[in-house]
Amino acid sequence: MPEQIKVCRVGGDRYDELMQTMDLSFGFVDEKSVPFIQLLPKLYKKEYAPWENNICVLENGRIRAAIGIFYQQLSVCGDLLKVGGVGNVCVHPDARGKGYMQKALGAVAEEMKHNGTDFSFLDGHRQRYAYFGYESGGTAANVTVDAGNIRHVFGACYKPETQIVPINEDEQEKELLVRINDLSPVHALRSPGRIVDILRSWNNNAYKLRRNGKTIGYFVLSRDDVSVTEFRVIAPEYIPDAVAAIVLPRSHMRAVFSMSVCDTDYYDYLSSIGSGVGTSGAFRVSIYQYEKTLSAFFKAKALETVLPDNRTVVLIHGFRADENLKIEIKDNVPSVAACRDKPDLELSHLDAASFFFGFRSPMRRLAPGLCAALPLPAFLPSPDHV
């Protein structure tokens, strides 16, 4: 009898089956592994209805594959973008090799084509996801600060005034944590009800930074006790002492701070005192609405550096639709708008992602005037990844 295959979302009555399928698919089944609900409580707690965010493949009524598509709003210099984060791409071990992942990924891509998604991101194998429109993009700045840096900058006997307090499930200052997050020029919109689960996902630990009895910021620390995946304070003058307070207690006597390069208050200070500065890719990205997404991130780029005056028309054969866009920069004010002008450059969907957001693109040689304004600083801190 032929197998009956259905691609769909399931109801809350299938929550346990969905979670078991995901954990089994990723091998999260022994005592040493971390199940999804513990790894990402912000997504998989039952109260957040994760079945509503998963497209499943049913084989004879049983869940054999699932892909999570988790939507969030990203504020980029005041522009709101609808972002689709793709995660938990999984196929049950007994159902592999049947094309179920491709079926589910195809359904995810089709959904985002038609529901107003501006861009999507995921982590994973480059070529595997390129078939569905994803390419390497985005930039994370990584600055290493060690105890020696602190000693030379502040003095050997320096004692930070900032105190560190763990953020726990019963946290009472959730609204304040949200307001501090919202100060960043590029930030995901977070609700007070989820903020603690967001900050503590990916096995991270989260801490408040306090001065004179008041909370002045927070930071997120990976379980390696080195990687600071998010760092926020209410005003730039608190950054130096907070950095010292974060670095000095670390077991490895150093911390690696990751941030967007357009977070200039943090990047400029940290890079001025750190022992090492580097960049890394942020994620795999697929752009569905190029005009809106580019417009937002060109504004973010103008925070990072002074952009040269330029006018370039680019025709993009996008995954969702063709877009002919006029990109203009005048006095460090960028604009992106649809036009009917003859294009100076023509790009495929994947080439466009590399051109605008990748570390390097050979196509930039064809637009040297615009090249100086690239790559655009697409970035989400680790707590917002899925």
**Residues 6 or more apart in contact with residue 274 via CB below 8 angstroms:** 143, 144, 145, 149, 257
CATH of 142-281 given 3.20.20.70, 3.40.50.12160, 3.40.630.30, 3.40.1350.10: 3.40.630.30
- What's the CA gap between 196 and 97, in Å, rounded? 39
Listed in sequence order, the residues at least 6 apart from 13 whose beta carbon sits closer than 8 Å to its beta carbon are none
Domain ranges of the chain: 5-133, 142-281, 289-371
Q: Which residue is listed with tokens 């969907």? A: 349
Helix (H, G, I), strand (E, B) or coil at 49: coil
DSSP state of 225: S
Structure tokens at 386: 């899925």
Q: How far apart are CA 198 and CA 174, in angstroms?
A: 11
Alpha helix (H) ranges present in the chain?
A: 15-25, 36-39, 41-44, 100-114, 126-130, 147-154, 174-181, 195-199, 239-247, 264-273, 290-304, 349-357, 368-371
Identify any residues that bridge with 326 across adjacent strands, giving them in sequence order: 313, 337
Q: Regarding the domain with residue range 5-133, which homologous superfamily does it belong to in the CATH classification?
A: Gcn5-related N-acetyltransferase (GNAT) (3.40.630.30)
Blockwise average pLDDT, block size 10, the chain, 386 residues: 86 97 94 91 97 97 97 98 97 95 95 97 90 92 97 95 96 97 97 97 96 97 96 98 96 94 96 94 94 98 96 97 98 98 97 95 94 94 95
| Model pLDDT, residue 339 | 98
Distance between CA 276 and CA 254 in Å, rounded? Answer: 11
Supply the pLDDT for residue 2. 64
Q: What is the pLDDT of residue 107?
A: 96
pLDDT at position 26 is: 95
Contacts from 364-368 at CB under 8 Å and sequence distance 24+?
367/312, 367/314
- Between β-strands 205-211 and 62-76, what pairing exists: parallel, antiparallel or unpaired? unpaired
d(C-alpha 263, C-alpha 244), whole Å = 19
How many angstroms separate the CA atoms of 177 and 189, rounded? 12
What is the 8-class DSSP label of residue 185? S
Asked if 363 and 382 count as a contact pair (C-beta separation under 8 A), the reply is no
What is the rounded CA–CA span in Å between residue 193 and residue 177?
A: 11
Q: What is the pLDDT of residue 30?
A: 85
Q: Could you give the C-alpha distances from 6 to 63, 75, 221, 270, in angstroms and in order?
A: 10, 36, 41, 51
The closest alpha carbon to 350, from 304, 272, 284, 251, belongs to 284
- CATH code reported for the domain at 289-371: 3.30.1050
Are 299 and 334 a contacting pair, CB within 8 Å? yes
Question: What is the DSSP secondary structure assignment for residue 313, as one 8-state letter?
Answer: E
Instruction: Decide if 5-133 and 142-281 have a common fold.
Output: yes
